[in-house]
Structure 1
Amino acid sequence: MEETYSNYVKISPVATKRNSGIAVELLLVASSFTLLTWFAQLLWRRRKLYKSSSELPGPIAFPLIGCALSFIGSPYTIFANITKMFDSYPGLFRVWFGPRLFYAVSDPKYFEILLPTCLRKEPLYHHANVIVGHGLFTAPVDIWKKHRKLIAPTFHQKILDNFVEVFAEQGAILVDQLKKYSGKGEFDLFHVISKCTLDIICETAMGVKVNAQTTDALYTKWADRIMEIIFMRIFVIWYHFDSVFNMTSMATECGKIIRNMHQFSGKVVREKKLAFEEKLRKQKESTDTYFEAEPVKRKAFLDYLLEVTTDEQTGFTEEQLREEVDTFIVAGSDTTASTNCFVFTMLGLHQDLQDRVYEEIIDVLGPHRAVEPSDLHKLKYMERFIKETLRLFPVAGLVVRAIDEDIKVGDFVFQSGTSVVFGILRAHTNEENWPNPFKFDPDRFLPEEIAKRHPCSYVPFSYGPRNCIGPRYAMMAMKSLLCSVLRKYKIFTSYENVEDVKLKANLVLRPKDGYKVSVELRNI
């Protein structure tokens, strides 16, 4: 009886296999249903984005990766593909980058409304945090508003006027350094000019002399390389994942450069902060009402920031000071150097206009007198020349902002949760606002010509509350250097026209083939 019962309840191997197969099938069905449900919910939540995207032209987007394949290659290839997109879809178009929707605009009417409204930086900018932390360039809106309010007074005209002496002193050193290259053909102008602008920004921003022009300073090379690495992280989609990027040689190089840059700026901040605290302590401990006052020294930006930092509630921490100093150094040296080099290239390309700039300098300063603050506003033609250079070669060809609320412009609604790419270079070369756009003509910036154009057709320093904080500083520094160099040297280039200057990007615009410039001493 026991044997019969045992045979009866025994489950055959075939039945067991069949039951297991049913269980697997049920699991697959349940998983598929869960996945489809999740996907359907995702599509429903994003329905406004897909509808918005369908209303606009744009490049072909593949599932999951979008248009990411267009952003593979060298910085030149990536920027060339971006330029082609703006040329192919003028005004407004859409780009899917991975699963995210970006609107791309180049019409000034969009700039005028969106730039003052969209203040939060696109999240991809967080890759730049390795350089400047939460300095003004990348800071969240709440931190940016607080810091901008504290920093803005340091760019008062009277403070900037005190820096002209520094501009002139470093310009004289630059003139001496250029003797090495005079009459010897074309050379890499950027690494010469960037050392000069580094000396200027360190003395004006931090109050220290680093003597970059007369020593083998590496900071400018670090800054140039780190910005190229960050540009690649932003546009090559698989580098967004730390696990992937950290396996590359770029990650090792990036870490080494960042440590060097932060060590450089951090040491200065700590020493300046200790010196400032010691000065306050001595003043507090002094009981002599008639002590002799210290002679007035030229203050740097960092000195002004340290003064507001005495209030612990509203001031800066040591880390925040270093982040803002890093921002000043990178933005103030690299970007100004780049623009200066483009200006020199355009001077070499347009010899007749170079003669006109030179003649204006001689009329205002004479052949030898050092430049003074009151001289700079008299250099009207030079300023127009610089502005025309910035039109064709803006520091940033693109600016990207996040959209945190639906914004209606005309009949179109920019959806919350997306981002907008502002094609500054495209806006600067749009034939509707700039007839014969690649003709170099400083007289485009005569007052009567400016009045004819939309105010946002020219935005080299961005537009709205979150624009660049230092355009006056940059213009004064550039004018001063031009006065120093052009009185001693004549500039030449092998470029034959503006279109020959092919562009790449490493956060800021650079010429693909370098700044082809040579110098020769003037016969004076």
Structure 2
Amino acid sequence: MALEFLPIPLTWVVLAVLPVLFYIYCVRPLSMFKRMGVAGPKPYPVIGNMMEFKNGLWDIELQMSRVKEFGGVYGVFGGMRPAYVVTGREFLREIFIKQFHNFTDRSTSSTALNVRPMCRVLTDLRGDDWKNVRTTLSPAFTGGKLKLMTGILNRCADQLVDNIGEATRDGAACDIKELASAFTMDAIAAVAFGTDINTQETPDHPFVVNAKKAFGTDLKNPLIWIYLIFPKIVKPIMESLQVSLFPRDCVNFFSGVFTQLMQQRQAGGEGRVDMMQLMMDAHTMKDEDEEGEAEAAGSKTRGKKQALSRDDVLANGFQFILAGYETTASTLSFTMYQLARHPDVQDKVIREVDDVMKDRDTVDYEACKHLEYMEMCIMENLRIYPAANRLARVATSDTKIQWLTVPKGMLMDIPVLPIHYDPERYPEPDKFIPERFSKEERQKRDPCDWLPFGAGPRNCIGMRLAMMEAKIALAKILRSYRIALAPDMEIPVQLSKYSAFVKPEHGIRITVEPRGNGGD
């Protein structure tokens, strides 16, 4: 008879235990920052502060209001994972530079997906593993290597100029973002991997189709929300199934491309010294020592070159294609948007281009160095429209920054927009003022006040290439055309709200006026 009544007390036990477990695992942890004396917006069980992103990742008003309310560092929860949101200059300086040894990583083993080959991308590697792979790849971006790339970049830029002329024939408008994306895809494929894919003449090329699909992964994807909120549950499932946040068919496509390139390089012997060859040499441990060039490329990691696995080559090839394709295209197209909106600034850039190019047929490495005002315009554009809106670092050991206790494993979430739009750092932050980035002004500014490429030893490895690529393209375009916004172009440009990378929701439409033979 007792067995007949057993389900009733068990039901009551379960009903009594569930709220207790919910409190222990989903409510009590949310008081962590309050117990530590750290301010922050109120989190909710399970979702934490994820509703902060309901209006997208580019909600500058909300981000600025949070900094104003809670200060330069405050606590939030991404799901149930705690994080410090950091914008204060003194804290950033400690994280990126002074205490870099305590914040070398961008992710932790508990959150980074161990799905091959993508788990081997440089941005996700940790500790000495990251340091050594970075040291292996850095020589691809030295000044000497960049000089060798200018000829290829000029040819790609010439095709871009031709495409602009064709697309704007008879006064028509064109989407410069689409044309710039094809240019940057051709450029990165040629200079980094020695392959000519000519996507500028074939817009539906598989490279472009798969790159667009990969970059289409954003917060509108429910899998990302589920992963961010329930990482401890979802991560082992995704790893067991070997499912990454990138579409599998895109990963397979680029893995196939780079596998074929590896086979061609192995069969043909050593070729040009580009990133692909450096990875191949490291894959077979045939790397040559280039004294001091890693540091010249902006790397101060003092790592050692290490053998790269096949997954290392595939993953980093994939990442460099995507990064070189989308972010540089956005930088170029948004800078053109700014120049079209500010004709007086455009006139100054044109005069500089004409002066630098008067005795040159190509925009060589030395010409790029002399395009100083153009560089100021690109940098100011990257302040207003940074390629990525957030940076991340993870504490690799227990540490303290001033009054702030930082436990090991704590995520340091660094939103770029509140830093770039801080009126104390940049008076009249909504205005496009290239003079903010004159040599004199840059010398006065804290290195952590401008973060499109990050800061410190773990900054973007391809920063110098991206800037040179944008300069060459802009110089070629402005040598041939004046640019203006199309009548149907929205002002200000509407951004794709849920993308982690800056993208115009409806493109950037321009018209052009031919300048004749490099002059009016």
* TM-score band w.r.t. shorter chain: 0.7 to 0.9
- Structure 2 equivalent of residue 57 of structure 1: 40
1:197–1:336 contact (8 Å) kept in structure 2: yes
1:438–1:499 contact (8 Å) kept in structure 2: no
CA deviation after TM superposition for structure 1 residue 32, in Å: 6.5
1:377-424 per-position Cα deviation (integer Å, ceiling 9, x unaligned): 111111111111111111111112333333322222233333121011
1:303 partner letter:
Q
CA distance in structure 1 between the partners assigned to 2:276 and 2:179 by the alignment: 25
1:222 partner letter:
N
CA deviation after TM superposition for structure 1 residue 130, in Å: 7.3
Q: Which residue of the other structure, out of 94, 104, 124, is the alignment partner of 2:85?
A: 104
1:399–1:423 contact (8 Å) kept in structure 2: yes
- Structure 1 equivalent of residue 275 of structure 2: 301
Paired residues for 1:79-90 under 5 Å: 79-81=57-59, 84-90=62-68
Paired residues for 1:16-415 under 5 Å: 16=1, 20-21=4-5, 23-24=6-7, 27=10, 46=29, 49-51=32-34, 55-58=38-41, 60-72=42-54, 77-81=55-59, 84-90=62-68, 91-115=72-96, 116=100, 117-122=102-107, 126=112, 132-182=118-168, 183-216=170-203, 217-233=205-221, 237-238=225-226, 241=234, 254-276=247-269, 298-311=272-285, 314-366=306-358, 369-415=361-407
Q: What SS does structure 2 have at the residue aligned with 1:96? A: strand
1:200 partner letter:
A
1:254-297 per-position Cα deviation (integer Å, ceiling 9, x unaligned): 23333223323332233223323xx6xxxxxxxxxxxxxxxxx7
CA distance in structure 2 between the partners assigned to 1:101 and 1:463 by the alignment: 23
CA distance in structure 1 between the partners assigned to 2:326 and 2:111 by the alignment: 18
- Structure 2 equivalent of residue 453 of structure 1: 445
CA deviation after TM superposition for structure 1 residue 459, in Å: 1.6
TM-score (norm 2): 0.82
Number of matched pairs: 480
CA distance in structure 2 between the partners assigned to 1:172 and 1:208 by the alignment: 18
Identity of aligned residues (%): 24
CA distance in structure 2 between the partners assigned to 1:57 and 1:499 by the alignment: 34
CA deviation after TM superposition for structure 1 residue 231, in Å: 4.4
- Structure 2 equivalent of residue 7 of structure 1: none
CA deviation after TM superposition for structure 1 residue 26, in Å: 5.1
- Change in 2 beyond 3 A, CA 1:128/1:137: farther
CA distance in structure 2 between the partners assigned to 1:235 and 1:401 by the alignment: 23
- Change in 2 beyond 3 A, CA 1:136/1:366: same
CA distance in structure 2 between the partners assigned to 1:482 and 1:82 by the alignment: 28
- Structure 2 equivalent of residue 423 of structure 1: 415
1:205-238 per-position Cα deviation (integer Å, ceiling 9, x unaligned): 1111111112232423422332232544589522
- Change in 2 beyond 3 A, CA 1:356/1:144: same
Q: What SS does structure 2 have at the residue aligned with 1:89? A: helix
CA deviation after TM superposition for structure 1 residue 483, in Å: 1.4
CA distance in structure 2 between the partners assigned to 1:33 and 1:344 by the alignment: 63
- Higher mean alpha-carbon deviation, 142-151 vs 156-165, is at 142-151
Unaligned runs of 5+ in 2: 229-233, 287-304
Unaligned runs of 5+ in 1: 1-15, 280-296
1:345-403 per-position Cα deviation (integer Å, ceiling 9, x unaligned): 11111111111111111111128711222211111111111111111111111112333
Q: What SS does structure 2 have at the residue aligned with 1:509? A: coil
1:19-67 per-position Cα deviation (integer Å, ceiling 9, x unaligned): 643x445545665776677667758995983435763122x32212222
Cα RMSD of the aligned pairs, angstroms, is: 3.4
Kindly name which structure, 1 or 2, has the bigger radius of gyration based on alpha carbons. 1
1:514 partner letter:
G
1:418-477 per-position Cα deviation (integer Å, ceiling 9, x unaligned): 312101122011001100011111111122222333221112110122110111111111
TM-score (norm 1): 0.82
CA distance in structure 1 between the partners assigned to 2:272 and 2:36 by the alignment: 54
CA distance in structure 1 between the partners assigned to 2:27 and 2:492 by the alignment: 48
CA distance in structure 1 between the partners assigned to 2:409 and 2:394 by the alignment: 7
CA distance in structure 2 between the partners assigned to 1:252 and 1:397 by the alignment: 19
Q: Which residue of the other structure, out of 427, 431, 439, is the alignment partner of 1:435?
A: 427
- Structure 1 equivalent of residue 294 of structure 2: none
- Structure 2 equivalent of residue 292 of structure 1: none
CA distance in structure 1 between the partners assigned to 2:16 and 2:249 by the alignment: 48
Q: Which residue of the other structure, out of 462, 465, 475, is the alignment partner of 1:483?
A: 475
CA distance in structure 1 between the partners assigned to 2:11 and 2:430 by the alignment: 61
- Higher mean alpha-carbon deviation, 42-51 vs 257-266, is at 42-51
